[in-house]
A and B are shown apart, each in its own frame.
Chain A
Amino acid sequence: MNPEITLETNLCGVRLPNPTLLASGILGTSAALLERVARAGAGAVTAKSASLEPRAGHPNPTVISWEAGLLNAVGLANPGATAQAGILRDARSKLATLGVPLIASVFGGTSEEFAGVAQVLAEAEPDFLELNISCPNVGDEFGRPFAADPQAAAEVTRAVKAVVDVPVIVKLSPNVADIAGVARAVEEAGADAIAAINTVRGMAIDVRAARPVLANRFGGLSGPAIKPVAVRCVFECFAAVSIPIIGIGGVSNGLDAAEMMMAGATAVGIGSAVYQNGPEVFARITHELATFMTEESYRSVKEMRGAAHK
């Protein structure tokens, strides 16, 4: 790699060795897996979202692949906040020597529940707490996600900020008319960073079965199919807020990562691309990003941030 360029990334004062990070819900189910992804080259890793009580998730089919991405309705399967704190503690000690920060992901049915889970997970001392207010797959139980409404999103953010000291990332949904409005609302409520985007609400029907493929009927679309949606959302958020943005959605190579940064991302989340490449995808994307930077004479990732806002 060109010694003149640096991929080091500063996210809310926390150092990431490179700007690629593992998105929540992909391989983040155990400490060993989080460590494995960190060793494979991720600049930070996000654990699976956890709720107060354990959740079994939806019946299968829960995840399917099609030409341009994945469609999933796992239904937030997780072992519950207390067990999750144990996983996070274990992960933290494994990651410490690697210098790879850990992001814990919080889910709740109410603001109070978000705050309660956040407190339990914060005890494991992750580097960040991410609030998953944007899961599209549990509407039957919880109604519209908080990310659908700026006031509700702000309320959850405030409730969590009141009880924890770690930097709080709020993960937004693309399934709204005005994502910039939601971004502004959570920034005002004290969010330290924004992650955008969660999956796009979608559906697949098997015509020979004449029924939806996913047992939950609806699911969240991810992968290459949603990249233009994600880039647009990050671009709009960047124009609306001054806190850092983690750009997520369809990133599968170094140029996609650069594109996300030029839209306004400080760091880039990667999920579905693990499907093609396995955990090795992080090293590949980082390498491709460095090559691009050398070619185009960027010395730091910071220089690319928001470059497309002219």
Chain B
Amino acid sequence: MNSQTSHFACRIERVERENYRVATFTLDLALDAAPGQFVMLWLPGVEERPLSLMACDPVTLTVARVGPFTTALHERRTGERVWVRGPYGNGFRQTGEHPLLVAGGYGVAPLLFLTRRLQATSAHPTVLIGARTARDVIFVERFGALDVPVLVATDDGSQGTQGLAPDVAARAIESQPVSSLYACGPEPMLDGVAALARRHRLPAQLSYERKMRCAFGVCGTCARDDGWLVCRDGPVRFEEP
């Protein structure tokens, strides 16, 4: 009985530091959810914001410290409380035998969740992690532990291949079988992956972000220019070849 009105009251079970600005929070809450879905995390007196699920049982969130809300979360310790509502949105669908997953920044979180689910099928995913520089690269070990091939691309070449993630993905498509593309990360990266998908006639699933309020398709805050609601129609958008 921890859901009294709208939110589940939960406690932080574990905090793992991923790098200088990203940490992973495991909560004492289990949800039935799909990779790509998100929750609204409420810190009473601070704010309530959308965060993607890195895992749903238990709920695990990987969060970059970028402003007041995420800083307040980073200051919470094991055993402290946070409030959750959700899950919301439409997650990724499974397509293709050889999916290529392109992750930028904390975009690795839902794609790790997706990798676990894909591995339960006959698919053979490959992961490409893109970052500005080596210190921004996270989750190499987490993906490695799942035994999936991991490619790394950095803008400055300080780790893995030098280049932007979509360009490095293009090279991967030429050297190995790729049947579909998945991407989560900054919007310019998503645009790049969408262009790549069109060029190679591959189905793509891209996960978008917008400022949100209700998270369930009522208030209209997260609409894109075309009237597509990130919270309810997305956050994952399908680009057919």
Q: Is the CB of B217 within 8 A of A209?
A: no
Find chain B residues with CB under 8 A from A25 CB: 219
Find chain A residues with CB under 8 A from B6 CB: 61, 64-66, 204, 206, 213
Mark B13-49 against chain A: 1 for CB-CB distance below 8 A, else 0: 0000000000000000000000000001010110111
> For residue A67, which residue of chain B has the nearest CB?
B5
Within 8 A of A (CB), among B152-197: none
Q: How far is the CB of B229 from chain A (nearest CB, A)?
A: 8
Q: Complex formed: what's the CA distance from A209 to B6 in Å?
A: 12
Q: Is the CB of B220 within 8 A of A207?
A: no
Number of B interface residues, CB 8 Å? 30
With beta carbons under 8 angstroms apart, the residue of B47, B83, B216, B220 that contacts A29 is B220
Find chain A residues with CB under 8 A from B122 CB: none
Mark A237-248 against chain B: 1 for CB-CB distance below 8 A, else 0: 000000000000
Find chain B residues with CB under 8 A from A36 CB: 227
Q: Is the CB of A61 within 8 A of B219?
A: no
Mark B212-233 against chain A: 1 for CB-CB distance below 8 A, else 0: 0110111111010111010010
Majority SS of interface residues in chain B? Answer: loop
Q: How far is the CB of B45 from chain A (nearest CB, A)?
A: 7
With beta carbons under 8 angstroms apart, the residue of A59, A63, A204 that contacts B47 is A59
A309 interface contact, C-beta 8 A? no
Given contacts A36-B227, A206-B5, contact A65 B83 (CB under 8 A): no
> For residue B220, which residue of chain A has the nearest CB?
A29
Find chain B residues with CB under 8 A from A271 CB: 218
Given contacts A26-B218, A278-B217, contact A66 B5 (CB under 8 A): yes
Q: How far is the CB of B147 from chain A (nearest CB, A)?
A: 39
Given contacts A206-B4, A274-B218, 14 further A-B contacts (CB under 8 A): A25-B219, A26-B219, A27-B219, A30-B227, A32-B227, A35-B227, A63-B219, A74-B219, A77-B221, A206-B7, A208-B4, A211-B45, A275-B216, A278-B232
A62 interface contact, C-beta 8 A? yes
Q: What is the count of residue pairs linking A and B with beta-carbon distances less than 8 angstroms? A: 103
Q: Is the CB of B227 within 8 A of A206?
A: no
Q: Is the CB of A64 within 8 A of B217?
A: no
Find chain A residues with CB under 8 A from B83 CB: 206, 208-209
Q: Complex formed: what's the CA distance from A205 to B229 in Å?
A: 29
With beta carbons under 8 angstroms apart, the residue of A35, A48, A64, A272 that contacts B220 is A48
Q: Is the CB of A70 within 8 A of B218?
A: yes
B237 interface contact, C-beta 8 A? no
Find chain A residues with CB under 8 A from B116 CB: none
Find chain B residues with CB under 8 A from A275 CB: 216-218
Interface residues of B (CB under 8 A from A): 2, 4-7, 9, 40, 42, 44-45, 47-49, 81, 83, 85, 213-214, 216-221, 223, 225-227, 229, 232
Greatest chain A CB density within 10 A among B7, B48, B218, B226 is at B218
**Pairs A–B under 8 Å by Cβ, sample size 13:** A35-B227, A48-B220, A60-B40, A66-B5, A66-B6, A74-B213, A206-B5, A206-B6, A206-B9, A208-B4, A208-B9, A211-B45, A215-B47
Q: Is the CB of B5 within 8 A of A64?
A: yes
Majority SS of interface residues in chain A? Answer: loop
Q: How far is the CB of A86 from chain B (nearest CB, A)?
A: 13
Q: Complex formed: what's the CA distance from A215 to B42 in Å?
A: 10
Find chain B residues with CB under 8 A from A26 CB: 218-220
With beta carbons under 8 angstroms apart, the residue of A28, A33, A213 that contacts B7 is A213
> For residue A207, which residue of chain B has the nearest CB?
B4
Q: Complex formed: what's the CA distance from A61 to B218 in Å?
A: 14
Q: How far is the CB of A49 from chain B (nearest CB, A)?
A: 12
Find chain B residues with CB under 8 A from A64 CB: 5-7, 85, 214
Within 8 A of B (CB), among A254-287: 271-272, 274-275, 278
Find chain A residues with CB under 8 A from B227 CB: 30, 32-33, 35-36
Q: How far is the CB of A224 from chain B (nearest CB, A)?
A: 14
Q: Is the CB of B223 within 8 A of A61?
A: no
Lowest 9 CB-CB distances: which A-B pairs, in order?
Answer: A32-B227, A29-B220, A63-B214, A208-B9, A60-B48, A64-B6, A36-B227, A209-B44, A61-B48
Find chain B residues with CB under 8 A from A63 CB: 213-214, 216, 218-219
With beta carbons under 8 angstroms apart, the residue of B2, B49, B85 that contacts A208 is B2
Q: How far is the CB of B12 from chain A (nearest CB, A)?
A: 14
Q: Is the CB of A32 within 8 A of B218?
A: no
Q: Complex formed: what's the CA distance from A207 to B42 in Å?
A: 14
Q: How far is the CB of B183 from chain A (nearest CB, A)?
A: 24
Q: Is the CB of B44 within 8 A of A27?
A: no
Greatest chain B CB density within 10 A among A33, A63, A65 is at A63
Q: Complex formed: what's the CA distance from A27 to B213 in Å?
A: 12
Q: Complex formed: what's the CA distance from A66 to B214 in Å?
A: 12
> For residue A63, which residue of chain B has the nearest CB?
B214
Q: Complex formed: what's the CA distance from A30 to B210 in Å?
A: 15
Mark A57-99 against chain B: 1 for CB-CB distance below 8 A, else 0: 1011111111000101010010000000000000000000000
Within 8 A of B (CB), among A121-170: none
Q: Is the CB of B2 within 8 A of A33?
A: no
Given contacts A32-B225, A32-B227, contact A65 B9 (CB under 8 A): no
